[in-house]
Amino acid sequence: MGACMRVAQLSRELHVSADTIRYYTRIGLIKPIRNSDNNYKEYSEQDRKRFQFVLNAQTLGFTLGDIKEIIREASKGKMACPMARQILEKRLQETEQHFSQQCAMRRHMKNAMKDWGKKPNQEPSGYEICHLIEGFNESY
């Protein structure tokens, strides 16, 4: 790998689209230099490592806003790990809550499918669109 890479090379190395790299560059997560000879943006090894950090953080559930905060903290020379721990704890709580809600929805869907298996299809009448949905009882 050379000292500087263009978008295509970086995207191949990191297995992401060039558009993804361009987007993260546009929002300021990565700050390549512009080659004065050809006006192309060139990415350094440090940019590649920063991008890998962003990808790893996203895999852990950090949002781009979270990642910007962590990078901002580190760029001030402060330890970013305490902030990362705090944010990850919050994201884990949110994920647990979402998972619980999804489990409840899955249970409702399974119960509705079981109940609907016993009911015939019907033509709409009056204000009724689909009697199966309108007759759905959340307390299944």
Which phi and psi angles does 72 have, rounded to 5°? -60, -45
Give me the pLDDT at residue 37, please: 85
Give me the pLDDT at residue 138, please: 67
Give me the pLDDT at residue 108, please: 92
3-state secondary structure 108-134: HHHHHHHHHCCCCCCCCECCECCHHHH
Over the stretch 104-125, which tens digit does the pLDDT of each residue have?
999 999 999 998 998 899 888 8
* Paired tokens of 3: 């000292």
pTM for the predicted model, two decimal places: 0.74
In sequence order, which residues have a C-beta less than 8 Å from that of residue 95 and are 6 or more positions away? Answer: 61
Q: What share of the chain is helix, strand, coil (3-state, %, to 5)?
A: 60, 5, 35
DSSP state letter for 30: S
- CATH of segment(s) 1-59: 1.10.1660.10
7 near 22, Cβ under 8 Å? yes
* Paired tokens of 129: 């669109």
Give me the pLDDT at residue 110, please: 94
Low-confidence spans in the chain with pLDDT less than 50: 1-2
